[in-house]
Amino acid sequence: MSKDFASVQSSLDKKLPLRHTPLTKKIDNFVLQIGEVFNWFWVILIAVIILNVVLRYVFRNGMIELEELQWHLYCIGWLIGLSSTYIVDSHVRVDVLSERLSYRKKLWFELFGILILFLPFVILVLYYAVPFFELSWASSERSTSANGLPARWFVKGFLVISFFLLLISGFSRITRIIATLRFGQEEKK
């Protein structure tokens, strides 16, 4: 990983500074490391797009395999990026309700938002994603296009992986909020 946890710490605590525990540091590092690895999918995606454009418009020979590969790479990059974006607190928020709250009330607002909205949604998606993936795996699902990519189950598996990472990211965030409510903010070094 190009960045260690300490270098990412400043971006973690811009919106809502939270205390860490040894467990949350490990979870956050794990998710961020996975995010760093899968960030390379964006570079690969750009290369595939350029190759596809050159083949189609210069050589008049488009390939459905490259079209589908673009979709799969975009899907995987976006899905895996969800959890690392959540860890660094760069996800889209609607802070209209919480912007005028005190720090402690913001913590409670965040905690209840995670418990009432975030975790049920993630668990519901996981509940349906696992059989969705299993069916695709069992039937050796492939593209409906004659020249399409085989193993459609592979990309569907990333739905399960990404929402599992999102789930552990949510538990890390809950733990950080509870630690902050209980012990207060960490001192900045």
Q: What is the pLDDT of residues 78-105, one digit of tens each?
A: 999 999 888 888 776 666 777 778 888 8
Distances (CA, A) of 18 to 15, 69, 111, 172: 9, 39, 12, 11
Domain ranges of the chain: 17-93+100-183
pLDDT value, residue 10:
47
Does pLDDT of 124 surpass 70? yes
CA pair distance 136, 130, nearest whole angstrom? 10
* Helix and strand numbers, DSSP H then E, in the chain: 7, 0
Contact assessment for residue 41 and residue 77, using Cβ atoms and an 8 Å cutoff: yes
**In this predicted model, what pLDDT tens digit does every residue of 8-54 receive, in sequence order?**
544 455 677 888 889 999 999 999 999 999 999 999 999 999 999 99
pLDDT in tens, 32-43: 999 999 999 999
Report the C-alpha gap between 73 and 62 in whole angstroms: 18
R_g (Cα) of the chain, nearest Å: 20
Indicate whether this model's pTM tops 0.85. Answer: no
DSSP secondary structure string for all residues of 115-133: IIIIHHHHHHHHHHHHHHH
Length reported for the chain: 189
Per-residue pLDDT for 161 more than 60? Answer: yes
DSSP state at residue 140: T
